[in-house]
Amino acid sequence: MDFIAKDNRYEQMAYRRCGNSGINLPLLSVGLWHNFGEVDDFETGREIIRYAFNEGVTHFDLANNYGPPPGSAETNFGKILKKDLKPYRDELIISTKAGYLMWPGPYGDHGSRKYLLASLDQSLDRMNLDYVDIFYSHRFDPLTPLEETMGALAQAVRSGKALYAGISNYPAAETMQAARILSEMGTPCLIHQVKYSLFQRGAEEGLAAVLREKMIGCIAFSPLAQGLLTDRYLDGIPTDSRAGKSHGFLKTDQITPEVKEVVIKLNKIAGTHGLSLAELALNWVKSHDFITSVLIGVSSKKQLQTNLKILGLPNFSQEQINEINSCLIETT
Ligand SMILES: NC(=O)c1ccc[n+]([C@@H]2O[C@H](COP(=O)([O-])OP(=O)(O)OC[C@H]3O[C@@H](n4cnc5c(N)ncnc54)[C@H](OP(=O)(O)O)[C@@H]3O)[C@@H](O)[C@H]2O)c1
């Protein structure tokens, strides 16, 4: 064990209360969807996690299928925990999820109790943990009774293998129902994980109101639209970027002339605020009152350093948000 966390690691970070719960989440959380798989450089990932923790990032977000190959991000995170962060386990909020294809056959996908509970056991094995802090249903499954999926989350909490239940990618109406069912089961929904960025504003349409009404926390994923809302693609597609890698989920055909045009406009607006485009995009997300935490991905410590700068920024005013919104388009 050669990692000793900085004594002043909690001095810069801001924490927001997650819904009607006892948990505070850091304003910036770090996700391991990309850049932490078997295909990635382990030491770079390790450096990112260590640096993040030293800057007060207490929340790391995983899912069963993160890699590639699926599962390898959890395995690597387990190694980082063992090497560096094990003594700090009680300072960490570690989440994982099940809901997308993980293993072959009829029981390795979607929302059944069988899949969710088996997957949670596998995730705990890979990370070498006794429990995760948050266990999510990764997506709404219209073919499984919601009572069954929520029952699996409640069972995970009752068994002590998870401390809190969360849902991700659920539409507003299903979120309302899920919240009711979970409350009735005595394991309230802690948090909703939703795609939200300058390019993905669907959450504003109904979900935000449900989350406010039900006092559920909200963590915004892909706030940089997987890197589109940064300077990454202003001059082409770098080979080491997500879009430049064959296994990246950002595809080159998503970088259309229309997208580039908006990115260039936003980059100019960022400049007028003295910000980088990434800082503008992240500060825009954090300025919305239904957001508890902004869940970023990073491929280097340097990107994380840039993104952490938003901690020192005041929230945008409604006028500033309106100005930024006026040049937006919706992307996939
Ligand atoms: N619940 C769900 O269904 C779901 C779905 C997707 C994601 N998530 C969660 O959300 C997390 C974040 O998603 P995401 O990785 O798509 O988030 P993101 O923050 O929108 O995109 C991250 C990418 O943006 C680029 N980037 C970040 N900071 C930068 C900077 N300062 N300058 C230039 N480029 C920068 C990097 O791209 P390069 O790699 O090209 O350098 C990085 O990999 C995931 O890890 C996962 O935990 C959840």
Phi-psi region for residue 201, left (φ > 0), alpha (ψ -120 to 50) or beta?
alpha
Q: How far is the CA of 316 from the centre of ligand 1 (A)?
A: 22
Residues 109-139: tens digit of each pLDDT: 999 999 999 999 999 999 999 999 999 999 9
Q: Name the burial class of residue 309, with classes exposed (0-12), middle (13-18) and buried (19+) by CB atoms within 10 angstroms of its CB.
A: middle
Which residue has better confidence, 2 or 222?
Answer: 222
* 3-state SS assignment for residue 23: coil
Residues 159-181: tens digit of each pLDDT: 999 999 999 999 999 999 999 99
Whether this model's pTM surpasses 0.95: yes
Q: Could you give all domains of the chain from N- to C-terminal order, each with its CATH number?
A: 15-325 (3.20.20.100)
Burial code of 61-95, b = ≥16 C-beta within 10 A, e = fewer? bbbbbbbbebbbbbbbbbbbbeebbeeeeeebbbb
Mean pLDDT of 265-280: 96
Q: How far is the CA of 303 from the centre of ligand 1 (A)?
A: 10
To test the ligand 1 pocket, which listed residue (40, 133, 222) has its Cβ within 8 A of the most ligand atoms? 222
3-state DSSP of 78-123: HHHHHHHHHHHHHHCEEEEEECCCCCCCCCCCCCCHHHHHHHHHHH
Q: How far is the CA of 129 from the centre of ligand 1 (A)?
A: 25
Q: Is the pLDDT of residue 79 over 80?
A: yes
To test the ligand 1 pocket, which listed residue (134, 226, 252) has its Cβ within 8 A of the most ligand atoms? 226
Report which of 150, 155, 118, 148 is spatially closest to residue 137, judged by C-alpha positions.
Answer: 150
Residues 37-69: tens digit of each pLDDT: 999 999 999 999 999 999 999 999 999 999 999
Q: Is the pLDDT of residue 332 over 80?
A: no
Quote the radius of gyration of the chain (alpha carbons, Å). 19
Ligand 1 binding residues, C-beta < 6 A: 31-35, 61, 138, 168-169, 193, 221-227, 230-232, 241-242, 278, 295-299, 303, 306-307
